[in-house]
Amino acid sequence: MKYTKSIIALLSVIIIIFACGEDPVKVTTGTINGVVYDYSSGTTIGNANIVTQPPSSSVTSDTLTGEFKILHVEPGIYHVRAQKSGYDSAGVDISVIADDKTIADIALRVDSTFVDTTEAP
């Protein structure tokens, strides 16, 4: 009887140890990181509008540094485009892989036809 209780206790401990292993959840999406910058000067451009084709959600952008991040992107081929007033829009084609970060830096050229209608103080 004492021997049976010891076996049951030992088996219980072994089951608990194996049950507490890492969760085998597989990551099925990737991330797109990038910076929008001026083609001529290399300075970053904040407040750019970032869109993807096919569309994706969760775009986070930094208004000062020009950095952006798109989370939870399904694997596949995407066209990432940046748009900003005073610049020609531009984009890059990228391939997103699950559980990986893909870089999509975008250089914008100044729009030579843009006329700033705001007056300086």
Number of folded domains that form the chain: 1
Structural domain range at position 80? 30-108
- The per-residue pLDDT for 62 is 81
The answer to the question of residue 59 being in a domain is: yes
**CATH number of the domain residue 40 falls in:** 2.60.40.1120
Per-residue confidence (pLDDT) for residue 61, from 0 to 100 = 82
Token pair for 40: 């001529």
CA-to-CA separations, 53 to 56, 76, 93, in angstroms, rounded: 8, 11, 9
Is the residue at 42 inside a domain?
A: yes
Considering the entire predicted model, what is its pTM?
0.71
For residue 116, tell me if it sits in a domain.
Answer: no
Residue 59 has what pLDDT? Answer: 84
Flag whether 15 is in a domain: no
Q: Is the CB of residue 87 less than 8 Å from the CB of residue 109? A: yes
The verdict on residue 46 lying in a domain is yes
Could you tell me the mean pLDDT of each successive run of 10 residues in the chain, 121 residues long?
Answer: 68 65 76 97 95 87 90 96 96 97 98 68 57
